[in-house]
Chain A
Amino acid sequence: MGINPMLAGRVYPPSAEYAVSREKIVEFATAIGSDDPAHRDPAAARALGHPDVVAPPTFAVIVAQRAEAQVFADPDAGVDFSRLVHGEERFTHHRPVVVGDRLRSTLHVDSVREVGGHGMLTTRVEVTDAEGAPVSTVVSTVVVRGDE
């Protein structure tokens, strides 16, 4: 069974709020091997013009993947998680994520395609702040491998 083609265009309800802490940014920066002081020291981040400690460029994947999990868990979607391969990821940052941000994510299914017996699902997560202003757009394509 493949991905439900009727999924394209579906929008899932916004996620619960995600509060960005300095500790989580430090943890994520350490995990990607970055010792950049802008991820740890508010003074270093302010010297670069940011209001507070700034997150690494791919930090938004944390909230994006939580939002994307909704489609994998949706019984109506027909996505076999065990056959899933990450194909592509693209971030557009409307502004950097900083400590104190209260983020919400909304998952959109942009397209469902069938390519060479494999299913391809492209999702878009719109990440906004407490005021509803755009922070990041995260576009992800996953490939669901067909039967060999």
Chain B
Amino acid sequence: MARRRFEDVCVGEEVKARPFRLRRVDLIRYAGASGDFNVIHWNERVARSVGLPGVVAHGMLTMAVAGRLASDWAGDPGAVVGYGAKFTRPVPVPDDDDGAVLEVGGVVAVLDEQARTARVDLTVTVEGVKVLGKAQATIRLA
């Protein structure tokens, strides 16, 4: 994969939207890999007892998966110099084969010529509802 060049990018450019599916097994796998074993991400009984509709995805998993749109566009995951998001809505992941589908799109919002960086603003929705706020990745371009 080649790194994207600063000269090839313009403000307003769209990063083609893609769906990312999350199933229960993905939550278990992320819990193990990250060390985040918060019970609401794998135990339906506990999730409901604290007022959630059921088991929900780790906010950090949603953020990481959405960030792939930006790092794939950059052509280098090490080119992401900044990445932030607000967790505005929980993402319930039902106990079935379909799970939940994140729709992730992006747009180049800011270019910094001196730093040769682009800020990509991500839109992350589930069934049309935004689940992340101010999801912004800053990419150092070649």
A residues sitting closer than 8 Å to B (CB atoms) are 24, 27-28, 30-34, 36-39, 44-45, 48-50, 54-58, 61-62, 65-66, 82, 85-93, 96, 98, 139
Contacts and interface: CB of A to CB of B under 8 A. Distances in A.
B82 A54 contact: no
Contacts of B71: 34, 36, 56-57
B142 to A, nearest CB: 9
Contacts of A54: 76-78
Interface of B: 1, 3, 20, 26, 29-30, 32-36, 50, 59-61, 63-65, 67-68, 71-72, 75-87, 137
Contacts of A37: 1
13 contacts: A31-B26, A38-B78, A48-B75, A56-B77, A57-B80, A62-B34, A65-B36, A85-B87, A86-B59, A87-B86, A87-B87, A88-B86, A93-B81
**Which among B3, B32, B59, B78 has the greatest number of chain A C-beta atoms within 10 A?**
B78
Given A56-B64, A57-B80, A36 B29 contact: no
B61 to A, nearest CB: 7
Nearest to B60: A61
B18 to A, nearest CB: 11
A38 B50 CA distance: 40
B81 A58 contact: no
A33 B102 CA distance: 13
Contacts of B20: 33
Contacts of A91: 82-84
A38 B60 CA distance: 21
Nearest to A93: B81
A33 B78 contact: no
Contacts of A39: 77
